[in-house]
Structure 1
Amino acid sequence: MKPVKLYKVRIDIEDQSVVEDLLHFLEDFGNFHLSIFVETPTSTDMNPYIIGWIPQAMKNRFDYEIRSLYGGRLDVEYSLSEHDDKPPSLVYRSRFLEPFGRIVDSFGYPSYNEIDPTIFVMFSFALLFGFMFGDMGHGLILFASGLILYLVRDRIYVNSDMIRYVLSGSTLYIVCGLSSILCGILFGEFLGYRIGILSFKLTIPPPFNISFPFKPLDSPIAMFKLSILVGAVHVLSGITLNLANKILNREYMEALIEPIPWICMYIGVIYNLFCFKLDFAAWIASPTLYILVILPVCVMLLGKLYMERLEGLIQFFEAMISTVSNTVSYLRIMALSLSHSILTHIILELGGGSLAAALIGAILVVILEGLMIFIHTTRLIWVEWFSKFYRGDGIPFKPLKISEVKAVRIEAASIPRRS
C-alpha cells in the first residue's frame, strides 16, 4: 500500500570520459530516478556528480553492475531518505486498478511517506456508486458493458484518445455494475420495477434500525438514515487511514492527539445522533456525550495546542467544522438515489409499457445518470474523504531517459565541497 522503499544514490564521477556511457547504463538499468545531474567545467578540480534513487530491493544488483563496469572511475554512496529529502514515489498497481489509480493521481500523486489509497478508492467507489445507482437491471447493463470492453480492449486499435480512455475504464464499470446489482437487491428494483429477490429482511441493528429491502422512493426516511450511516462509515475509514499513516511514519504522539480522539468523537456524535436525533436534552443526559465526545475533543484540542500552538488550534476547528459539513454532504447519496428512481419511473411511464422503450430508456439512464453519479462519487472521495488523510503531493518515480536529462553546468567554486 505504501510506495516502494528507495535508496538515495550519489555517484561522484572521477573520470569524466565515462559520463555519457554512465548515463546510458543508468537508462538501461531501467529503475534509476534522476534527481540531480551536475556537470562542471573540465578546467576545475571538481568532478561531475549524479544524485538519484533506486528501489531498495535492487541495491545489490545495481552496486554489483556499476562497480563491475566502472571500478575506481567513480565513487558510489547509498543512503536511506533523510528528513529534508523528498524522494519520488514508486507505486506498483495491478492493471485491474488502473482506472481507480487515475482517480487518485488526478487529485495528486501519493507521497513517499503516505499510503497509496488506490485499493481503498475501489471499495469506496463501489460503496458510494452502488447506493446512488441501486438497480439490478441498470447494474447488469453496466457490468455487461464493462466486461465486454475488458475483453476487447487489447484486441482492437483505436486512434481516438477518448475511446481509449473509455476502454481503459472497463474494470471501473465492472466494479460499479456489481455494486449496483447488490444494492438493487437491497432496494428490490430491476429497471424501475419492484422485484422481491430477498425472501427475508436484513436489518441493521439499533440504534440505526434500517431494514432491507426498501424502495428509496417509498421510504425516504430510511434512505436518509442510510446515507448518513454510509457517510459516517466512509469518513471513519478516512480518519483510520490517517491513523495508519501516522503509525507507519512512527508519529505516535501525533496519532494520540489527532486521529484517535477524532475517531472516538465522531463515533460518539453519530451514535448520539441515531439514538436521540435532535433531542439535545437526551444528549446531555447521556454519559456517551461526555465519554465519547467531550473528552476526546478536549484531548485533541489540548494536544494540538501543545504540539502546534496557534496552527494547531486552527487545524482543530477546521477538523471539527469539516467533520460536520462533510457528513451532511453524503446526503447526496439520498438525493441521487431518489432522482435515479424518479427518472426511471418517468421513462417507464412515457414508454407506455413497451419493452423496447424500457430497454432504450434503461440505456439512457445508465449513460446519463451513471455519468452524473460518477462525478458526485469522485467529488465525495476527493473532498470529503481525502481531506481526512491524503495529501497527494508526491513526485512520480520516473526511470531515467537520456532524452530528458538536463545537466546543471555550474562553476565548481559555487558548490560546497564535501568534507
Structure 2
Amino acid sequence: MSTSQEPEPEAIFRSAEMTLVQLYIPTEIARETIYSLGSLGLVEFRDLNKKVNQFQRTFVDEIRKLDNVERQYRYFQSEMEKKSIELQEVFLSDYKLQQKSILSTSSLDELSANAQLLEDRITQLTEASESLLTRQMDLKQHQQVLIATDDYFNKSVAPDLIDMSETAQAEFLESGAVQSSNFITGVIPRSKVQLLQRILWRVLRGNLFLKTTEIEQKMFDVKSKTFVDKNSFVIFSHGEVILSRIRKICESLDADLYFVDPEASGRVTQKADINNKLTDVTTVLENTDRTLETELRALSADLDVWWKTVKLEKSVYSIMNLCYYDQGRKCLTAEGWIPTFDLKKVQNILIDISSKFSEPGSGANESSFPMFMNIIETNRTPPTYHKVNKFTAAYQAMCDAYGVATYREVNAGLATIATFPFMFAIMFGDLGHGFLMFLAALTLVLNEKKIGSMKRDEIFDMAYTGRYIVLMMGAFSMYTGFLYNDVFSISMTWFKSGWAWPSSWKEGESIAGHQVGVYAFGLDPAWHGTENSLLFSNSYKMKLSILMGFIHMSYSYVFSLVNALHFQSMVDIIGNFIPGLLFMQGIFGYLSICIVYKWCIDWIKIGKPAPSLLNMLINMFLAPGQIDEVLYPYQAQVQVFLLLMALVCVPCLLLIKPLWFKHTHNKYVALPTEESLTASSSDENNNLLSHLNLEDDEEKEEVQFGDVMINQVIHTIEFCLNCVSHTASYLRLWALSLAHAQLSSVLWSMTIGGAFGVTGFGGSLFVFVMFAMWFVLTVCILVVMEGTSAMLHALRLHWVEAMSKFFEGEGIAYEPYSFESVLIEE
C-alpha cells in the first residue's frame, strides 16, 4: 500500500460525490466485516429487505437476546440509582483503545450468561432486602403501637361503654379499665387519619373513642415503596360486630393492625420479644444491604464498557438484517452509499479482512463465497454529505435544521460562517458587550476537552455546541461596536475628531459645530450627546440596513447561477436567473446605488436640499418620468428604462421555462425510474442484482405542461413579492441596533452613570452597589436576552431572505453506520 495519499477534496462548498456499491460478504466473516466498516464509519447501508417483516428477518433472534441483555443492564443501573452509586462512564476515545475488534461468539454468549447470573444475584439480594425492610418496619410499627397504648392498660374491667355518657367514656377509657375485646390498635398513614375519624364517626354514630399519636420516624410503605409519615391509633368500642366493622374500615384505608396484650406482664413480654426480633432483623438487613451495595459498586466499574459492547453488537446484527441473505451461497449481499473519494479506504478494509480469514487456521470455510465489492451505476438520488470540523459543524447544523441541501447544490453553510455573525453584529454592535460574549465563548473553546467530557444539561450543551458561533459573534460585535463607537453605550475618542466647536458662545444659545476634517475610522465621537445624534444614527443605520440586505440577497442569488451551471441547466439561467437578476437590480440595486450616491454629495456645499429616496422610489412606480427633487442628471429617463425593464422581466420569468418545456417535449420523467446496474459476467449474478434492485423500484411520474406552468407562476409571484418584502425585512438590522444602543444607554444612566455624583464613603459604597447592579443587568438583559433576540433575527435573515434565493433543501442527509452514531445516541 502506498504511504503517500492525495489530499481529500473539499466537500463544504457543495456536497461530496457519492457512489452506490454492492458488497458480497461470506456469512462466516459477516460480523467482522460489518464491525470493521462501522469503525470506519463511511458506509450508509440500504435496506434490501423492505418487504420482509422486522420480526421475520434472519438475525432477529440474536437481536432479541441482546435486547434482553440491555434490559438487564438498565435494571442494574436503576438499582445503582436507588443506592446513589454513580455509573463510571467510559469516554468513546478510551473505549476504542480498549475494544479494537469484535467479540467472538463464545465471548458474546459468556457476556449474556454473566448478565443473567448477575441479574439473578441482584434480584435475590434486592428481594431479600425489601422483605427484611418490610419485616423491620412491621416490627417498628408494632413497637410504636405498644409505646403509644401502654398508658391505657392498667386494669381488667369492661363496663358497657354504650350505657355511659361521653365524658364518662373518656374518663373511664383513659383510666385503662378495658378488656382485650374492647379495643383495636394499629398504624395508619397520617394523611388518612382525619378520613378514618369521619368514617368511624358516621358509621358508629359516635359509639367509640379514638386516640392517635404521631410517629416521629418515617415508616416504609410496602405499596408505594417509599417512606411516609404515619400515626399509631387506639380505637375503643363495644361488641364484636362493631369491632369487626372497625377492622374492615381500617384495612380499607391501608392501616396495619396489631395485637396488644391488655395485661401489663404480657405487654412487657411483647416488648422484649419485638426488641429482640428487631435487633436480629436489623443486623441481617444491614448485612444484606452492604452485600448488595458491594455488588453494585463492583458492577459500576465495568457496566458502561459492557453496555457499549452490547450496543455495538446489536447494531452489527441490525445492519446484517438490512442485507439480503443468500441461503445457497451462504453469503450476505449489502448495498450502501460511500463518498467516492473514500472508496479506496473501504476496499482496503475488505482486503485486510479477506487476507486475515484466508490464512490457514483462521477457521474460515475455504469453499465459501469470495468477498468483493461492485460499483453500481444508478440514477437514484444519493444522500448529501458535507465534510465538517469542530468549527464548521455548528454552522452546518444550523442550516440543516432548515433543510438538507439537495445533492451537489451549493451549500448554504459555507457562506453562513461569515454572514451570520456579521448580521448579528450589526444588530448587537457594542465593543463592551461583544467583548463579554467573546470572553465567555473563548472560555468554552480553551476548555473544550474538559467540558466535552462533562455531563451537560440541554441549555449548556447548546452553548457548548455553538461555542465557535458565539466566539465569532462576539468578535464581529467588537468590530461593529468599534465602528459605531459604542463601549457599553459610552463613546470613546480613539482618533482626532473631525468636528470642532466654536471658541465662544452665549449662554442659552444653540451651538453648531463645524467640520475641520474626517474621523479616521467609524463614527465620530462628536456626535455623542448632540441633539441630532439620534436623527443622524437613525438615517445612517436605516440606509446601511438596506445596503447590507441588497448585498446579502444579491450574492445569495448568484449561487442560483452557480447551481444552474453545475447542473448544466441553461433554461434556468435564461428563464429564471437573468430576468430575476434584472428585476431585482433594476429596482433595489438602483435604490442602493442612489443611497451611496447621495452619501457622496455634499448637499450643504452645493446649496441644495437632499432629495428623499423613499419618495423617489414611490414616484418611480406611481408617476414614471416625474421627478420632484433631482438627484442626478437624466434621472427621469433612467428610471423609466429601469421600470420598463422590470416589467419585461415578469413575463420572461413566467413564460420562458414552460414554453421551452412545451417545445422540447410534452412530458418527461421527473423521478428516477430504475437502477442500471454494473453486473458481473455470470448470469447468476445478473439475476441476483435484478432481484435486489427491482423489488423497490420507484414508480414513474409523468409531468405535464400544466404542472410546469403552475409551478412557474407560483415561482414568479413569490419572487417578485419577496424582492419587496425581503428588502424591507432587513430593516430589522436598523431597528434592533437602535433598540440595543438605546437600552444600553438607559441602563447606564439609571445605574452606574448616576452614581458618580455621590462623594465620600457612602458614595464609594453606592458606586460599588450600582456597578454590581449594572453588570448583572448588562449580562442578563443586554448580552443574554438581547443577544438571543439578535441571533434569532439573524437566523431568520439567512433561512428566509438569503437561502430562498438559491436553496432547494430537498436532499437526504448522509447517515453512515458508525460507532460514534451508535454509542452517542441515547
Task: Bin the TM-score by the shorter chain.
Answer: 0.7 to 0.9
Does structure 1 conserve the Cα–Cα contact (< 8 Å) formed by 2:429 and 2:737? yes
**Does structure 1 residue 159 correspond to structure 2 residue 159?**
no
The aligned amino acid for 1:387 is S
CA positional deviation for 1:21? 4.3
SS at match of 1:190: coil
- Please list, as runs of the form range in 1=range in 2, the aligned pairs for 1:224-243 lying within 5 A after superposition: 224-243=542-561
Q: Which residue of 2 aligns with 1:9?
A: 21
**Counterpart for residue 300 of structure 1:** 653
Deviating more after overlay: 32-41 vs 100-109: 32-41
Alignment partner, residue 534 of structure 2: 217
Q: Give the secondary-structure state (helix, strand or coil) at the position aligned to 2:46.
A: strand
Give the counterpart of 1:396 among 792, 802, 813: 813
* Secondary structure of the structure 2 residue equivalent to 1:54: strand
**8 Å Cα contact 2:485/2:491 also seen in 1:** yes
Select which of 402, 419, 422 maps to 1:127: 422
Aligned to 1:417: none
- Matched ranges for 1:95-106 at <5 A: 95-106=390-401
Secondary structure of 2:571's match? helix
Note the C-alpha offset of 1:268.
1.4
Find the counterpart in structure 2 of residue 66 from structure 1: 350
Give unpaired runs (5+ residues) of structure 2.
Answer: 1-12, 50-322, 355-367, 499-520, 528-532, 595-615, 626-634, 662-707, 756-766
Asked which structure has the greater CA Rg, the reply is 2
CA 1:58–1:102 in 2, change beyond 3 Å: closer, same or farther? closer
- C-alpha separation between the residues in 2 aligned to 1:147 and 1:172? 11
Match of 2:442 among 141, 147, 166: 147
Per-residue CA shift, 1:312-356, capped at 9, x if unaligned?
A: 122111111122111111111111111111211210221151471
More deviation, 357-366/370-379: 357-366
**Separation in 2, partners of 1:186, 1:403:** 44
Q: Could you tell me which runs of 5 or more consecutive residues in structure 1 were left unpaired when the two chains were aligned.
A: 202-210, 406-419
Query: Alpha carbons of 1:402 and 1:344: their partners in 2 closer, same or farther (altered >3 Å)?
Result: closer
Query: 2:783 maps to which residue?
Result: 366
The number of residue pairs the alignment matches comes to 393
Task: String of CA shifts for 1:128-181, please: whole Å, max 9, x gaps.
Answer: 111111111111221222212211222234322322321232211221112112
Q: Describe the SS at the equivalent of 1:10.
A: strand
Q: Does the CA-based 8 Å contact 1:267-1:292 persist in structure 2?
A: no
CA distance in 2, matches of 1:232, 1:195: 31
Whole-Å Cα distance in 2 between the matches of residues 43 and 101 of structure 1?
A: 44
CA distance in 2, matches of 1:385, 1:10: 40
**Identity in percent:** 22
CA distance in 1, matches of 2:426, 2:649: 32
Q: Tell me the residue number matched to 2:570.
A: 252
Alignment-derived partner of residue 270 in structure 1: 588
1:338 aligned onto 2:738: yes
Q: Secondary structure at the match of 2:401?
A: helix
Instruction: Indicate the residue corresponding to 2:469 in structure 1.
Output: 172
| Counterpart code for 1:325 | S
Query: Would you say the 8 A contact 1:305–1:313 is kept in 2?
Result: no
Q: Deviations over 1:219-276 (max 9, x none)?
A: 2122221111111111112211222222222223212321233223212111333534
Which residue in 1 is equivalent to 2:729?
329
RMSD: 3.1
Deviates more, 1:308-317 or 1:211-220: 211-220
Q: Does 1:35 find its partner at 2:46? A: yes
Measure, in 2, the Cα distance between the counterparts of 1:98 and 1:267. Answer: 34
SS at match of 1:250: coil
Q: What amino acid maps onto 1:169 in structure 2?
A: G
Aligned amino acid, residue 243 of structure 1: L
CA contact (8 A) 1:111 1:393 kept: yes
Counterpart CA distance in 1 for 2:543 and 2:821 is: 54
On the 8 A contact 2:445/2:467 being kept in 1, the answer is: yes
1:181 alignment partner AA: M
Partner of 2:122: none
SS in 2 for 1:76: strand
Letter aligned with residue 217 of structure 1: L
Which stretch shows the higher mean deviation, 370-379 or 54-63? Answer: 54-63
Tell whether the 8 Å contact from 2:45 to 2:816 is kept in structure 1 after alignment: yes
Task: Note the C-alpha offset of 1:73.
Answer: 2.5
- 8 Å Cα contact 2:383/2:407 also seen in 1: yes
TM-score (norm: length of structure 2): 0.44
Q: Which residue pairs with 1:53 in the alignment?
A: 337
Q: What TM-score do the two structures reach when normalised by structure 1?
A: 0.83
Provide the C-alpha distance between the structure 2 equivalents of 1:7 and 1:334, rounded to a whole number of angstroms: 47
Cα–Cα, structure 1 residues 37 and 21, in superposed 2: closer, same or farther, change >3 Å?
Answer: farther
Secondary structure of the corresponding residue to residue 125 of structure 1: helix
Aligned AA (1:362): T
Q: Match of 2:347, as an amino acid?
A: D
Residue by residue over 1:56-75, the C-alpha shift from the partner in whole angstroms, topping out at 9 and shown as x without a partner, is: 12223433553675595355
Separation in 2, partners of 1:329, 1:19: 56
Equivalent pair of 1:185/1:197 in contact (CA under 8 Å): no
CA pair 64-296 structure 1, distance change in 2 beyond 3 A: same
698, 712, 725: which one pairs with 1:312? 712
Q: SS of the counterpart of 2:373?
A: strand
Shift of 1:42: 5.5
- Relative to structure 1, the CA distance from residue 79 to residue 131 in structure 2 (aligned partners, 3 Å threshold; closer, same or farther) is same
Q: In 1, are the aligned partners of 2:14 and 2:408 still within 8 Å (CA)? A: yes
Say whether the 8 Å CA contact 2:16–2:408 is kept in structure 1.
Answer: no
What SS does structure 2 have at the residue aligned with 1:96? coil
